[in-house]
Amino acid sequence: MAKYQTVRERLDGSEQSALRAYRDLVVGDAGGAGHLALYELLTSTVGLAPGGLGLLLRRQLYPHLLGAVGRGPIFGRSLTLRHPRRIRRGDRVTVDDYALLDARGAGDDGLRLDDHVIVNRNAMLRCKAGPIAVGGQSIIGSNSSIVSLSGVELGEAVLLASSCCISAGAYPTDDPSTRMLDQGAYSKGPIRIGDDVWIGTGAMILGRVAVGAHAIVAAGAVVTRDVPEGVIVGGMPARVIRSRGRADDRTLGRQRTGALAAAAAQAAPARGTSRQ
């Protein structure tokens, strides 16, 4: 279990100047003071600019902050970028207003968004002590949070609905005499989500978990163990509801509705007879 050192611990244990501490938290050592100056200039001016002009200016200028940017990027307003030189974006990647991309603890692997990824408004991707990789054509829903302490990997075409949480972090709980904030967060291992997975609104994926390709996680589910390929899981903790199979869900729904209606029709005469 890898223990994570909090930002507070790094600041409290640092004897460097306030400016140096701020630089280390925001942009890191890459580029030195010049990179910090460029970051401050762009985020405080074009980073706040509304409308089409703001989008155009950010498309032209923000790539100078990041490690790599593909063609046709879209940068929303008031983005928060941490250690942007560790952030790599593919082609046609969209990051909406007020999102957070934090690559401080990503290491050399960085925070990677592959081609045609969409990160919606207010979403947070935080590399505390491990990288994050999001496969092509995946969508991160608004107000969702992905926190990496030892690595988070999303496959291609993953649909993460709004207000979801993916995090492997935890705190020890055996010592009640020590405050939780002082226990020190740790991770049991990375989280891996396969291709073509749909994670419903408000679902949570915790601990060292692998979600198989083509699986569906129901809204509000809490996933604490591996999910096989091609199944639907739900509940708290999440359990397998059924396999997706080949049948269309709408066809199954119509079949169930028809069966219930037929059963109700058969039961109606019997209820009427009992009244007589």
pTM of this structure: 0.82
User: Which backbone phi and psi does 84 adopt, to 5 degrees?
Assistant: -60, -25
Integer Rg of the chain from CA: 23
pLDDT digits 0-9 by tens, 219-257:
999 999 999 999 999 999 999 999 998 555 544 455 555
pLDDT digits 0-9 by tens, 100-147:
999 998 888 999 999 999 999 999 999 999 999 999 999 999 999 999
Q: Considering the chain, what is the average pLDDT of its residues? A: 87
What local confidence, expressed as pLDDT, does residue 262 receive?
63
DSSP secondary structure string for all residues of 57-74 = HHHHHGGGTSSEE-SS-E
Helix (H, G, I), strand (E, B) or coil at 91: coil
pLDDT of residue 42 exceeding 90, the answer is: yes
Single-letter code of the amino acid located at 204: M
Q: pLDDT band at residue 274, thresholds of 50, 70 and 90?
A: very low
Tokens read off for 78: 């008031």
Domain 2-245 sits in CATH at: 2.160.10.10
What residue spans define the domains of the chain?
Answer: 2-245, 249-276
Single-letter code of the amino acid located at 274: S
